[in-house]
Amino acid sequence: MLNSQLIGIAAVLGSKKFAQKISKDQTSIALQNGTARVIITSYNTSNDFTEQLNKHGDFIKNIGFRVDFLDTVLQSLEENNINILERDNIQDDDGIVRYGIILAENSDVYHTLYELDKYSGIFLPGFKPAENFPLFAEIERMPAILMDHVVQNYPIGEMEEAAKWYDKTMRLKRFWSIDDTVATTQFSALNAWLLVNHDHSVQITLAEPVAGRKGKSQIQEFLTYHGGSGVQHFALLVNDIISSVELMRSRSVEFLTIPDEYYNILEERLSKTKLNVKEDLKKIRKLNILMDFDENGYLLQIFTKPVQDRPTLFVEVIQRANYKGFGAGNFKALFDAVEREQAKRGTLF
C-alpha cells in the first residue's frame, strides 16, 4: 500500500503510526487511537493473501482478541470441533506472546487469539517503534477510546449459521435484531443481528440482504464488490463526537448525508421526553450526525463514505451517553443514506 494511502487511512481513523515490522516479503504498519489498534500490511511477493487482495480489494483480514488463558480457550474450541489453523509462540527481548488462529465460518476473516501477559514490548514481537507521519506530528488528532464494534456482511441464508459459529466459538449471544420491516425501501432490505459477550466488551453485528426486491441492496453491493462475505465497517468510540467529526471533516473525510426531515422528526421526538441532551442539536444537524435514544440515555453516530475505491469498507464514529443499544432507530435513516449513495454510483439496480 502506498504511503499516501496509509496517511489517508490514518486521517480517517484519527490514528498515529507507532510501530512497524518490515521484512523482504511484507511491511506492516501499526496505527493506534486510544486502545484501538489497526495493522495495515502490504506484500512484496505473491502469496495466498495477495490472491485475496485481488478478490476483495483492501479489506480487513484479521480481527484479534486478547484472552487470559489461551490453553483453556483452545481446548474449548477443539471440544466444539473448531479447527485451530495455527498455534505458536513468538518472542523477542521483551518477552513471549502465545497465540492461536481460527477462521470464521464461510468467510476469509481470521481471528487471532493472543495471550499477552508475559510480554512487555511496544506491541507484538518483531514490531519496532516508529515515528508518526510527519504530516500529523503537530496537528490535533481525533481522540478515540476503543473499538466499539465491527459489522460483517453475509450472503442470503448464511447469517444465522455465522451467528451459531460465534456462539460456539466465543459464546456471543444475540442481543437484538433488525429485520426487513425496519431496514427496508421499495428497492431493497436487510436483516441484522447484534451478537455480544456477557459484558458487551465484544460486539459483532452480522447482516444479510433480503431477496425479492427490485433493487440491489447495500449488503448485496458489498458482497459483489468484496467478492463474498467480510467486514463492512468498524466503529470507533469517542467522548466528543462533534469535535471529532469537525476534525475529520477538516482533513477531507467524507460522511454520508442525512436529510433535514430526519432532524425535524428527531427534534419532535425529543421534545416529548425529559432526556437531557448536552450536545447542540443544530451542530448535530449540520454535521449529519445520527441520534438514537431511550429513557436512560442516547447514542450519537456517523458513518464515513467508503475509504477506498471499491464501495466496501467504511468507518463509524460513535458516542454513548448511558446507552447500551445499537442505534436501531437509525437503521432506516442509515439504510436510506447508503441507498442514495448507491444511486449516485449507479449500482442500485
Backbone φ and ψ of 139, nearest 5°: -115, 155
In this structure, are residues 94 and 121 in contact, taking their beta carbons and an 8 Å threshold? Answer: yes
Determine the Cα–Cα distance for residues 166 and 174; give it in Å rounded to an integer. Answer: 10
Backbone φ and ψ of 284, nearest 5°: -60, -45
In this structure, are residues 70 and 99 in contact, taking their beta carbons and an 8 Å threshold? Answer: yes
Nearest to 149 by CA among 209, 222, 235: 235
Residue 149 marked as a ligand binder: yes
Residue 316 marked as a ligand binder: yes
Four-point Cα dihedral 347, 52, 254, 287, nearest 10: 90
Residue 233 marked as a ligand binder: yes
**Could you write out the DSSP letters of every residue in 63-99?**
--EE-S-HHHHHHHHHHTT----EEEEEEETTEEEEE
Nearest to 100 by CA among 82, 115, 86: 86
- Binding-site positions: 149, 233, 316
**Residues annotated within a binding site for Fe cation:** 149, 233, 316
